[in-house]
Amino acid sequence: MEDIRKQIVDLFTQEDIEISDKQVEQFQTYYEVLLDWNNKINLTSIVESVKIIEKHFLDSVIILKKVKLDKGISLVDVGTGAGFPGIPLKIMRPDIELTLMDSLNKRVVFLEALCEALQIEADSIHIRAEDAGRDPVYRESFDVATARAVANMNILSEYCLPLVRKNGIFIAMKGPNLEDELDSAKRMIAELGAKTQKVENFSLPCGDERTLVVIQKKEKTSPKYPRHSSIISKKKS
């Protein structure tokens, strides 16, 4: 496992990200638990160590280089899946109050086991994003929402922005060539009480292109949002 630790240090150092021995150990544990559970449930199609470190761990942590997150913020990771980007962010920033949301219960069971193995505190919630957005317990309760998903910005914004309190932000992790998608999502983002604050393109060391979109919540979201998922995905606006 010495090779895994070296790969973690080398890739993080390449991006000028400082990482402690404890954090290296936590990411190694993350890698081991992820691969073990991946034999039971489908968590990731990427199984090579260097690719997991780069395309899952490093890709998540780069948020901290691009966006200033205040100490002690509450962060909800929507549709977190195998815990990206929420858990890598928590490893690097233990002060973050983390909530992980996923619609599949077996992934939530994995996340609970993972957090125990990593000895980190996080709430793992089995809930659909649109249900969470209508639930008073979660609605407009978080400083930051993150999502690393293939859904277009119209859909992603409607799932995530209702969870963000006024003056909070939604961070969307997307692929390249996002101009048209963002342009078509402007009206919905405004309808949800928000405005795009920052769009930043970057590449991982392997050359994969990424786009980070930061949307700031300016006003409270209308009670009519979020709509049911079937309506969101059908109308896309």
Residue 110's domain is classified under what CATH number? 3.40.50.150
> DSSP 3-state assignment of 216?
strand
Does the residue 55 lie in any domain?
no
Q: How does pLDDT run along the chain (237 residues), one tens digit per residue?
A: 568 999 999 999 999 999 999 999 999 999 999 999 999 999 999 999 999 999 999 999 999 999 999 999 999 999 999 999 999 999 999 999 999 999 999 999 999 999 999 999 999 999 999 999 999 999 999 999 999 977 899 999 999 999 999 999 999 999 998 999 999 999 999 999 999 999 999 999 999 999 999 999 999 999 999 998 778 776 544
Residue 213 counted as domain residue = yes
- Asked if residue 77 belongs to a domain, the reply is yes
Residue 216 located in a structural domain: yes
Compute the CA torsion angle 7, 58, 209, 169 (nearest 10 deg). -170
Is 35:81 a contact under the CB 8 Å cutoff?
no
Closest CA to 154 of 225, 223, 232: 232
Please give the structure tokens belonging to residue 85: 């980007």
Query: Which domain range does residue 192 map to?
Result: 69-235
**Would you say residue 133 lies in a domain?**
yes
Query: Per the domain annotation, does 40 fall within a domain?
Result: no
**Measuring CA to CA, which residue among 223, 94, 71, 76 is closest to residue 148?**
76
In a domain, 181, yes or no: yes
Does any domain span residue 22?
Answer: no
Q: How many domains, in total, are found in the chain?
A: 1
